[in-house]
Chains A and B, each alone.
Chain A
């Protein structure tokens, strides 16, 4: 094999696993905290840097779920550490690997420099917070029935009937409550969003059913939001949420700060 071919071969088999983009002008080593204890370091171009580790140019994959979870936790850990050190970073999805060596990364950074710089500027001093608002389902039903005369009458009628005879009506009642619930949910979500609005830069309603931890399983998730919040406004947002949390039958789950996963634009760089 000629030297040129050998060089090409190594280039192709080399890759750089990218964790995030940070505001950093230096090339630093960040310890062996990466995936599988890989050494994490920065590759910089002007005043921005990619936080990477050197790897084979093939994706991380495994059938062992625990192993993968470990990788993901490491990935997240690197992002957290980088955020602590460099301020807000642009986080990457898991398993984003640049083909080639450090030079390839530099080249890529220089091509996307303007865009990346702008994003870092836009997100500076801001972080992502997740807000989930839960409600006691019984209380919610009571509220819905209380506000709707038709449902109230239906309920009274059912209660007067013998148990079996009321079955079909009961089903009808449940379906109507469900419909009313969906309407109400939309209204409540808007109401909550408007309460948070003045404290956040941006808010995204999470339409997809998001993860609900065990401790909230007996409650109904009414709305979930991802919020981009300036660090000076976090307390105020917390106060607004505290108010909702103290309402009868309500519970708020407020997590963060996260790197701005939901707010980095564009999706591809």
Chain B
């Protein structure tokens, strides 16, 4: 068969002349940056969207979209500052919120102004926390555990007695600035209500570890692992849940009959190879899991109290 050029129409030629062939180097050419309009129309007809964008065809659309976006969100994004109010610190921060069974950090932008301290979330817009500076009575920086690491957090107590817990990246700066802005002496001792009641006189903590407690079945709930803190004092062994700081397990030391770390414990949610701390006491046993080093530390701390290692006499339920 013979090649033919007769039946070729303009489209074949356009395809080659617009999309192929040599192009000039940028410093020689005049038409590239200026975007030849023709190129736009024709190229668009042939090449579609990608080329349109490349040749700036959607610029107007892009501009409109940006304008719309700015307009649409302008009202929402601006922090609600009152007239005459001036932001002194504006930083990313979060506030501890504990309501019912939900306890969480709520993030937003923390503003310290000449008469308010507030945490503003842009999207969806919400005032997460707001207080007038003259209501702040006490201020305290405290080191807290945060995902196994210590970090500083700021506690504020207001004249109504309420306590707020705030975290920002530079807590000290925030504390100092609040002190300066408030312009009055602030006490720096706050009793944190959510903390467990302090230990009675004569009792002291020997060892404390973050461990999971195998919580016994209750009602329709089966056994569950819950996060919290296992405390060994010179009087008792108790475990406090991370949620709500409730004491859910407590045994006086004289009732404890033994503790050891072992694997192959049959319990729901625990794998056969996982090591658990097994505490035996008069009337039952309790299982704790977590990092092996922590389990072992706790084990030896308990055993030390009895001066000699105890072999727990536990008959495992199967």
Closest A residue to B47 using CB positions: A208
Q: Which of A234-269 contact B (CB under 8 A)?
A: 234, 238-239, 241-242, 245, 252, 254-259, 261-262, 264, 267-269
Q: Flag if A238 contacts B2 (CB, 8 Å).
A: yes
Task: Kindly state whether residue B312 has any CB partner on chain A within 8 Å.
Answer: no
The reply to whether the CB of B74 lies closer than 8 angstroms to some CB of chain A is no
User: Known contacts A73-B10, A211-B11, A255-B4; is A58 also within 8 Å of B25 by CB?
Assistant: no
Q: Taking the complex as formed, is B8 at the interface, i.e. its CB lies under 8 A from any CB of chain A?
A: yes
A164 at the interface (CB under 8 A from B): no
A255 to B8, alpha carbons, bound, how many Å?
7
Tell me whether A68 is interfacial, beta carbon within 8 Å: yes
Q: Which residues of B contact A269 (CB under 8 A)?
A: 22-25
- Say whether B3 faces chain A, with CB atoms less than 8 Å apart: yes
Quick check: is B39 within 8 A (CB to CB) of the other chain? yes
A261 with B38, Cβ < 8 A, contacts A255-B4, A269-B24 known = no
Q: How large is the interface on A (under 10, 10 to 19, 20 to 34, 35 or more residues)?
A: 35 or more
User: B29: CB under 8 A from chain A?
Assistant: yes
Q: How far is the CB of A79 from chain B (nearest CB, A)?
A: 9
Instruction: Write the chain B residue with the least CB distance to A255.
Output: B8
Cβ-defined contact, B12 with A211, below 8 A: yes
B42 CB–A CB distance under 8 Å: yes
Minimum Cβ distance to chain B for residue A262 (Å): 5
Write the B4-16 contact mask toward A (1 if CB under 8 angstroms, else 0).
Answer: 1101111111111
| A76 contacts B by Cβ under 8 Å | yes
Give chain B residues whose Cβ lies under 8 Å from the Cβ of A242: 1
How far apart are the CA atoms of A84 and B185 in the complex, in Å? 96
Q: Does A162 count as interface, using CB distance less than 8 angstroms? A: no
Nearest residue, chain B, Cβ from A239: B1
Are B20 and A93 in touch, CB under 8 angstroms?
yes
Taking the complex as formed, is B41 at the interface, i.e. its CB lies under 8 A from any CB of chain A?
yes
User: Which B1-59 residues have C-beta < 8 A from chain A?
Assistant: 1-5, 7-26, 28-31, 34, 36-39, 41-42, 46
Q: Is A45 an interface residue (CB 8 A)?
A: no
Does A225 have its Cβ within 8 Å of any Cβ on chain B?
no
A196 CB-CB contact with B under 8 Å: no
- Interface residue range, chain B: 35 or more
Q: Is there contact, CB below 8 Å, between A99 and B37?
A: no
Do B39 and A255 touch across chains, with their CB atoms under 8 A apart? no
Chain A 53-82, CB within 8 Å of chain B: the 1/0 string?
Answer: 000011111110100110111011000000
Specify which chain B residues have a CB less than 8 angstroms from the CB of A104 in the assembled complex.
28
Residue of A nearest to B11 (CB): A211
- Residues in B neighbouring A256, C-beta threshold 8 A: 3, 5
Q: Which of B4, B15, B16, B39 contacts A254 (CB 8 A)?
A: B4
| Distance of B143 from chain A, by nearest CB (Å) | 61
Is A129 an interface position by the 8 A CB rule? yes
Is A65 in contact with B42, judged by CB distance below 8 angstroms? yes
Given A90-B22, A255-B7, A269-B22, also A97-B31 (CB < 8 A): yes
B29 touches A97 (CB 8 A): yes
Residue interface bits B243-254, CB-to-A below 8 A is 1, else 0: 000000000000
Check A91–B12 contact: CB distance below 8 A: no
Q: How far is the CB of B5 from chain A (nearest CB, A)?
A: 6
Chain B residues contacting A65 (CB-CB under 8 Å) are 41-42
Bound-state Cα–Cα, A62 to B41, Å: 9
Q: Which residues of A contact B7 (CB under 8 A)?
A: 213, 215, 255
Does A262 contact B22, Cβ atoms closer than 8 Å?
no
CB A110 to nearest CB in B, in angstroms, measures: 13
Among A69, A76, A238, A268, contact of B22 (Cβ-Cβ < 8 Å):
A268
* Bound CA span A268–B31, Å: 14
Q: How far is the CB of B18 from chain A (nearest CB, A)?
A: 6
Asked if A98 meets B37 with Cβ closer than 8 Å, knowing A75-B17, A91-B22, A269-B22, the reply is: no
A residues in contact with B38, CB < 8 Å: 59-63, 68, 71, 95
Interface centre among B7, B31, B34 (most CB of A within 10 A): B31
- Nearest residue, chain B, Cβ from A213: B9
Per-residue CB proximity of A200-217 to B under 8 Å, as 1/0?
Answer: 000000000011010100
A-B contact pairs, 30 of them (CB 8 A): A15-B30, A58-B31, A59-B31, A61-B38, A62-B38, A63-B41, A65-B41, A68-B38, A69-B10, A71-B38, A76-B16, A91-B16, A91-B22, A93-B18, A94-B18, A95-B39, A97-B29, A99-B28, A129-B3, A238-B1, A238-B2, A239-B1, A242-B1, A254-B1, A255-B8, A256-B5, A261-B16, A261-B20, A269-B22, A269-B24
Top 7 nearest A-B pairs by Cβ distance?
A: A59-B31, A61-B37, A261-B20, A59-B36, A242-B1, A211-B11, A93-B21
Give 8 A-B pairs besides A59-B36, A69-B42, A91-B17 with Cβ atoms closer than 8 angstroms: A58-B34, A59-B39, A68-B42, A76-B16, A93-B20, A94-B17, A98-B24, A213-B11
Which residues of A are at the interface with B, using a C-beta cutoff of 8 A?
15, 18, 21, 57-63, 65, 68-69, 71-73, 75-76, 90-99, 104, 108, 129-130, 210-211, 213, 215, 234, 238-239, 241-242, 245, 252, 254-259, 261-262, 264, 267-269
